[in-house]
Amino acid sequence: MNKLSSLFALAALSAVVVAAPVRADDVKAGDLVISQAWSRATPGGAKVAGAFLTIENKGTAPDKLVAVSAEIAGKAELHEMTMDNGVMKMRPLEKGLVIEPGKTVKLAPGGYHLMLQDLKGAFKEGEKVPVTLEFEKAGKVAVSLDVQGVGAQAPGGGGGMMMKKMPDHSGMKM
Ligand SMILES: [Cu+2]
């Protein structure tokens, strides 16, 4: 009995430890959790920037990211990268991005991304850039992008679990 209950206590404790890392900059909106929102510093005069984030749907129904906007950008779109005859191209996601229940969708270099265009100012490393996501069900959600260095491939600063060497998509072949 004693042994069993201490086992339970241990199990409960480890469950808490595993469940805990909802980081301070995770944003909850209904059943969605948005985390690791980031972008890159824009080198001199660049007018466009890609932005990336992770969306988890903890609910039982799908939701859809339908639009994005940002004060700093004259225009913002949802994009995806695809390979077309060996050439990496991007195109707008006209129908939005569905987040299935129980699934996590990651916007990352080489795949889905937010495209911020007609920038009114530069992104500087270490700054935060507010953007507004619009979901079909969860509605408008404000998040802030952590601006990383110019060549960053991952959000960084998030602790030891991140892979340091992400493959550079510019050399990607399919
Ligand atoms: Cu793009």
CATH number at residue 31: 2.60.40.1890
Q: State pTM to two decimals.
A: 0.76
70 located within any domain: yes
3-state helix, strand, coil in the chain (%, to 5): 10, 45, 45
Q: How far apart are the C-alpha atoms of 167 and 14, rounded to whole Å?
A: 33
Cβ proximity of 105 and 114 under 8 Å: no
pLDDT at 8 (0 to 100): 61
Q: How far is CA 138 from the centre of its chain?
A: 16
Distance 90 CA to ligand 1 centre (A): 5
Neighbours of ion ligand 1 (CB under 5 A): 79, 90, 115
Query: What's the domain range around 88?
Result: 24-149
CA of 119 to the centre of ligand 1 (A): 14
Kindly tell me if the per-residue pLDDT of 101 is higher than 90: yes
Segment 101-127 shows an average pLDDT of 96
Count of domains observed in the chain? 1
Residue 135 lies in a domain: yes
| pLDDT (mean) for 54-68 | 98
Q: Residue 75 pLDDT > 80, yes or no?
A: yes
Q: How far is the CA of 15 from the centre of ligand 1 (A)?
A: 39
Ligand 1 centroid to 79 CA: how many Å? Answer: 5
- The H or E element containing residue 109 is none
E strand or H helix at 133: strand 128-135
Q: What's the mean per-residue pLDDT of the chain?
A: 84
52 within a domain of the structure (yes/no): yes
Residue 98 inside a domain? The answer is yes
The answer as to whether 111 is a domain residue is: yes
Q: How far is the CA of 2 from the centre of ligand 1 (A)?
A: 59
- CA nearest 50: which of 79, 27, 25, 26? 79
The model's confidence at residue 23, banded by pLDDT at 50, 70 and 90, is: low
